[in-house]
Structure 1
C-alpha cells in the first residue's frame, strides 16, 4: 500500500493504491485533490495511508442518507427481532427519510440531527389519526339520529372491519381518542435517536463516516410516566368478575405473576409444571405489522421460571381439564396454552380486547392490560417482597430498572425505611416499629 502526490492545475492532489479488491481482484485507488500546497497534500496522503492500514479509511462518497439507511435496515433484518425491525422500518419511512433522506450521509452532522429532532417534536406527525376519523364519523351519525355500524366506521377510518368493531365498542363505552397535536411525543423522537445512533455507529464501522454525529446530538428529555394501576381490592374485584370467563386462569395468572401480554399469548402447555407449582416463560407471541407471530422472548432475562401460588395452580389445573377436553373434541395438535377451542393461537390484540371488556363490565377504572403488570409489581413491593425478587419475577434486565420504574409509586416505603433504620440505631421510638414493618404484609390478592 503506497501513495503519491502530484500537482493538478493550480492545486495539489494525492493518490493511494489500496491493493486489489478481495472479492473481484480489481485494482483499487483513492484520489483526492484541492490542496493548496504540496505539504498539505502529503500530510493528507500520509493520514489516509495510516487510516487505510488500520482499516479506518473513510472514502469520499455522495451516498445519501436514504441509500445508506436502506442498506443498513436490510442488513439488520436477520439479527433483529421482527417487531423491533418493523418499528425501525416505520420510523425510517415516516420520520427520517422524508426529512433528511436526500442529504449526503457525510454531510449529516450533529446540528442537522438536532434540527431533525426539533422538527419531529413540532410537526413530525405524518400518520393519519384513524381513531379520530372514526370517532368524528361516530359523533356525526349519532347527531343525525343514526345508529353507527362497525362496517361504516371501518370504511370511514380506512381500517379493517375488526378494527371498526373494536372502535364502536370503545365509543359506546364512552372512551374517546387521545388528542394529538402536529408533533411526535418526546419518547418517539428519542426512539428515533436511538435508531439513528445505532445506524450511524455502523456507518463508522463500515468506513463511511469518520465519527458518529449522533453521539453529541441532544434528543428530547422524556418525562417519567406515572402508571395507572389498580389497588389490591380492585385486582380482587377483577379476578372475581373474571371467574366465570373461559380464560379465567389467564386473568388470574396475569394478576398473580405480572406476565406480559406477549408471554401470556406465547405460553405452551409444556411450560406448566403444576406438580411443583412452576411455570416457565420463554416463547412469546407478538404483533408485527398487525399480524401475530411467535418470537423467542423480549430478552434473555425475560426467560425465567416462576413459582405459582396454590390458588393459581388450582385454577390452571381446572383450566387444563377443559383444555384437554377441547383438544380431543376438535382433534387439534396445538400446544398454545391459551387458544381458541380449535387450537388456534390467540392474537395478542384479542387478549387486550377481552381484558377491556371484562374490566368495563366489572366497573373498574380503565387501565391498560400492561398496567396490571405494574399493579402486580406495586402490590408485591408494598407487601414487602424484596425488590430483587420482584425484578426477577418480572423478567427485568436489572434491579435498578425495577427500582427506577416502581419505587416512585410507593410513597410509604421511604417512611417505612426511615422508621426501621432509626429504630435499629436509636432504639424503640414512640411510633410502633411492628406497625411499620407489617405494612401491606398480606399477599396481594388475599
Structure 2
C-alpha cells in the first residue's frame, strides 16, 4: 500500500512459498492495525551527485508518518506549526508514534506517563521555552497533588516519569528544538531501595503483635525448607516450580517460560532462554530481562530428580511419545501460566503455610542469601541470578542470614585471637596475676 506523497504501509509477513518478506505487497495491509506506516524523503544529492533518500517507519498512522516526514524535511515546522510554537503535547505524540524496536511494555509505560502526567501538566508549554525550573515545578506539583489525595506517587514512579520525559526531550535536542535537556536537572526525593532483611524471631513477634512487616523480607534456610516441605506434603501441582524459584532464583516470568527443551537432565542443567511477559491481559514470550539473564544454571541432584519425576509424569499422560515438549508448567490449554497468577497463588500458599509473609520475588532474594550462606562467592550468585554487574548483586541481594553473620563474627574474633596469641577470657599479656607472676605471651610458630 503506497502513496504518491512518499507515504506507504508495509508489514513483516512472509510469503509461505518463497519465505520472502511481503512488505508493501501483503494483502492484509488493508486490515486495520496490520502493518505500520513509513515515509520516504528525498534528500539533496551527495557530493558524487548520487540520489539520496531517507526512509523511516514504524508509525501507527498515516498522519503520524506524514508529520514526521514534514518535520524532518523542515525542522522548523511540525503539523504546519512553526518550530518555535511546537507544544510539548504535539512533540510527545509525534515522538511516541515514531518509536521503533521498543518492548511493548516500555512503549506502554511511555504512553501512560505521557497521557497521565506529562501532557496534562506540560502539554501547553512550548518545547523551545521549557526550562529546568518549569519541569521541576511540574514534578513538585505532581508530588503535592497526589499526596493530598492520599495516593502519593512512589519515588520509583517519579523516576520513571522523569526518564520518559528525558528520553523524549533528548529527541527534541537532536532535532534542534532545544539546546539542552531541561529534564536532566530535576531533583526528586531520594528513594534508596529497601534491602532485604531476614525473618528473625524478633521481627516475627512484632509482625504477629502489630501487623508491621519489613518492606522486603526473606525466609531463613529453615523457613524456606519448611515451606517447601509443607508444599510437598500438600502435593501441590506447582511444588516443583516454587522449588526452582526458591533454589535457582528464577524470576516469575522466567519460571513460567521454561520449556522442556531448556532442560538437560543428563548434564543436570536448565537454560533460561525466555520469559513470559504480561501486558494487561495479553501474554507474550520475550527474551530474558537482559543479556546476562540468558544463562545456564547447574542443578543439584535433588532438583534434577524432581524434574525427572515431572518428566515421567508427562510421558505417562502422553503415551506414544519419547520426550516431553512444551512448557514445564502449562495451563490446561498448554499455554504458559500467567505471571500474575503465580503471584496470587503464592500469596495464598504463603498464608496457608503459617509462615511470615514474603513476596514471590522475595524467594529470589532468598535464593541469593542461601547460596551465600552455603559458601558461594558473589560471582557465583551473580551468574545464578543473571545480573549484569556484581555491584547489583552485592547491593541488592547479598542478604546475610543470621547463621552466616555469626559464623563471620566468630571467624573474625578467632583471627584476632590467633594474632595476639590469647584465648577468649584470658588475662591480657604482661599484666600481673594475684600470685605476682607475669602472664607470658605464647608465640606460635
**Normalised-by-shorter TM-score class:** 0.5 to 0.7
Q: Is the 8 A contact 1:229 1:374 kept in 2?
A: yes
Partner of 1:39: none
Partner of 1:400: 391
Q: 1:23 aligns with which of 32, 38, 41?
A: 41
User: Matches of 1:335 and 1:185 in 2, distance apart?
Assistant: 39
* Alpha-carbon shift at residue 242 of structure 1 (Å): 1.7
Q: Measure, in 2, the Cα distance between the counterparts of 1:299 and 1:319.
A: 29
Q: 1:292 aligns with which of 283, 290, 299?
A: 283
Please state if 1:230 is matched with 2:219.
yes
Q: Specify the alignment match of 2:257 in structure 1.
A: 266
Which of residues 66, 73, 86 in structure 2 aligns to 1:63? 86
Q: 2:117 aligns with which of 95, 113, 133?
A: 95
Alignment partners' CA distance in 2, 1:307 and 1:344: 26
1:185 aligns with 2:170: no
271-280 vs 348-357, greater mean Cα deviation = 348-357
- Tell me: higher relative CO, structure 1 or 2? Use CA pairs within 8 A at least 6 residues apart: 1
- Match of residue 137, structure 2, among 106, 115, 123: 115
Give the match's secondary structure for 1:293.
strand
- Within the candidate set 239, 248, 254, 2:228 is matched to 239
2:415 is equivalent to residue 423 of structure 1: yes
Residue 211 of structure 1 is matched in structure 2 by 180
Alignment of 1:309 with 2:303, yes or no, is no
The DSSP-based 3-state class of the residue aligned with 2:237 is coil
Q: Which residue of 2 aligns with 1:72?
A: 95
Greater Cα shift, 275-284 or 237-246: 237-246
Q: Alignment partner for residue 336 of structure 2, among 324, 328, 345?
A: 345
Deviations 1:397-431 (A, max 9, x none): 10001111134656765982795498289366646
Contact 2:249 2:367 in 1 (8 A): yes
- Give the SS at the match of 1:280: strand
Superposition CA RMSD, Å: 3.1
Unaligned runs of 5+ in 2: 1-39, 45-74, 78-82, 196-215, 426-445
Match of 1:201 in 2: 170
Deviation string 1:214-255 (CA, Å, 9 cap, x unpaired) is 222212211331421111111111111221111221111111
Q: Report the Cα distance in structure 2 between the residues aligned to 1:110 and 1:375, rounded to whole angstroms.
A: 42
Q: Is the 8 A contact 1:124 1:182 kept in 2?
A: yes
Query: What TM-score, normalized to structure 1?
Result: 0.66
Q: Which one has the bigger helix percentage?
A: 1
SS across alignment from 1:259: coil
Partner of 1:36: none
TM-score by length of 2: 0.66
Q: How does 1:426-437 map to 2 (within 5 A)?
A: 426=419, 430=423
